Amino acid sequence: MAKQQVKQEQPSFQYDAIIIGTGPGGEGTAMNLSKSNKKVAVIERQEAVGGGCVHWGTIPSKALRHSVSRYIEYKANPLFNVGERPTRLTFPDILRHASSVISKQSNLRSSFYDRNRIHMFQGDASFVDKHTIEIKRLDGSTERLTAKTIVIATGSRPYRPPEVDFTHSRIYESDTILGLEHDPHRVLIYGAGVIGCEYASIFKGLGAKVDLVNTRDRLLAFMDAEISDALSYHFWNSGIVIRHNEEFDRIETRDDCVIMHLKSGKRVKADCILFANGRTGNTDTLNLEAVGLKADSRGQLKVNETYQTDIDNIYAVGDVIGYPSLASAAFDQGRIAADAIACGNCDEKLIIDIPAGIYTIPEMSSVGKTEQELTAAKIPYEVGRAQFKHLARAQIAGTEVGSLKILFHTETKEVLGVHCFGERASEIVHIGQAIMEQKNGGNTIDYFVNTTFNYPTMAEAYRVAALNGLNRLFK
């Protein structure tokens, strides 16, 4: 007599997926899963959605930068020099503009979750097992949710060395600096990465004296050398003191100032310190041990090409997985992870040439290879350049500082890299990116010569740079 086969019942879960975090990575995952008819829950520890991108990072710093940049233009414009000089703006003054932008962005993103019928829970999330999440609310109460798939999109936070007293009223990191209420005359920024350089521009634009302590030998070494050198020159020319190859030994705090003691023996005095040297993934409170996951020393998780962790039903996207740590990339990572979750696999991958936009004053932006990378790879290339000071639109707008550089293959004319320095650089670079992504011979520098650009525009820089580069070729 044959044994009767018993059909194994599939476990029942409350949700198809739970996403922890509502930054760009969490949002991209949640929206795409919802549109795939999945039942989705999202857990956010803050009162409002948007994550660090909206509340402490990308949006606030760029809103601050925009206000300061317009303030600088206003002071420099001869039309406004006839009458009364503009009153001096302070950091708290420009924070008000940033606050309104943050509110608008958070409200907009909250409406996305409502329209897509995604269930929202507020509180701190931690794993119970690979399918169960416990939520701890502010009032101490807890609730448990279950799901077939769980996505970690908890983002990152500024790195805080244990020997630095961040409770002191004159010591800040890139999150807490948004609570600065006084008007410092001298600011010390430790860490000359993207965040450090952006805030150096902001404080210098407001008239503060800025010391920028760089632990490396050049600013933003991942950028094309000419572009990073241009930023260094403009920082130096504006009065920012850059201290390369320095590391802090200790920070001395006083009631009226702070003093950073460097390992080289130097001492730097300032009204406040902004510590901007690295970030840490927000994984320490997730109880990863309960599911057998382990973050690295920087709190980051390892994932495969579809953002799946070592646990088959747990995915991770955004800053919590490290490079490239960009809001734009995080959203795409979430979208790709959602496709993999919904369909079982996903052929789509994050693009190779991710554009970098650095919102200093002036801006920097790039996509593709740098001159240094092409030289090291022994790829024959030529350079086409356009100076903004020669463009009618830049002359009209009074934004003549900067240039555009196109790198292209000397034989195939394929565009290999685009690098831009100057006002609106982060917008201008996308024209080059669009051409670089073309297939079947569509990616050549000839496009910029054969296309008619509006005049006067900043986009015309591509035609000028292309002609400049082609004129360098010879047989």
Q: pLDDT tens, 44-102?
A: 999 999 999 999 999 999 999 999 998 888 887 777 765 555 567 889 888 888 889 99
Q: Say whether 362-470 and 15-158+280-343 share the same fold.
A: no
State residue 2's pLDDT score: 45
d(CA 162, CA 182): 25
| pLDDT at site 8 | 52
Q: What angle do CA 184, 190, 195 make, to 5 degrees?
A: 90
Residues making up the binding site: 44-53, 62, 154-156, 191-198, 278, 319
CATH T-level topology, domain 362-470 = Enolase-like; domain 1 (3.30.390)
pLDDT at 85: 55
The pLDDT-based confidence of 5 (bands split at 50, 70, 90) is: very low
Q: Give backbone dihedrals phi and psi of 52, rounded to 5 degrees, phi first.
A: -60, -30
Eight-class DSSP state of 116 = T
CA-to-CA distance for 320 and 152, rounded, in angstroms?
Answer: 8
**Tokens in use for 67?**
């206000």
Side-chain half-sphere exposure of 182, counting CA atoms within 13 A: 13
User: Is residue 260 classed as helix, strand or coil in its secondary structure?
Assistant: strand
Higher pLDDT, 16 or 351: 16
User: Can you say whether residue 401 is alpha, beta or left, with left for phi > 0 and alpha for psi between -120 and 50 degrees?
Assistant: beta
Q: State the Cα–Cα distance between residues 120 and 248, nearest whole angstrom.
A: 43
Per-residue pLDDT of 290-327, as tens digits, reads 999 999 999 999 999 999 999 999 999 999 999 999 99
| Burial class of residue 277 (count of CB atoms within 10 Å of its CB; 0-12, 13-18, 19+) | buried
- The pLDDT value recorded for residue 6 is 44
Residue 357, pLDDT above cutoff 60: yes
Domain layout of the chain by residue ranges: 15-158+280-343, 171-277, 362-470
Strands (E), 310-465: 314-316, 356-358, 364-368, 381-387, 402-409, 415-422
Compute, in degrees rounded to 10, the torsion defined by CA atoms 182, 184, 188, 191.
50
Summarize the annotated binding site for FAD as residue ranges. 44-53, 62, 154-156, 319
Q: Determine contact, residues 402/423, Cβ cutoff 8 Å.
A: yes
Say yes or no: domain 15-158+280-343 is CATH 3.40.50.2020.
no
Binding site for NAD(+): which residues? Answer: 191-198, 278
Q: Residue 83's pLDDT is what?
A: 58
Question: What's the average model confidence in pLDDT over 36-45?
Answer: 97
The answer on pLDDT for 7 being more than 90 is: no
The torsion angles phi and psi of 386, rounded to 5 degrees, stand at -135, 125
Q: Tokens in use for 295?
A: 């973050």
Which two tokens mark 469? 């580069």
Range of lowest pLDDT (144-148, 206-210, 332-336, 437-441): 437-441
Architecture per CATH, domain 171-277, reads as 3-Layer(bba) Sandwich (3.50)
Once rounded to an integer, what is the mean pLDDT over residues 443-464? 96
Residue 157, Ramachandran bin (φ over 0: left; ψ between -120 and 50: alpha; else beta):
beta
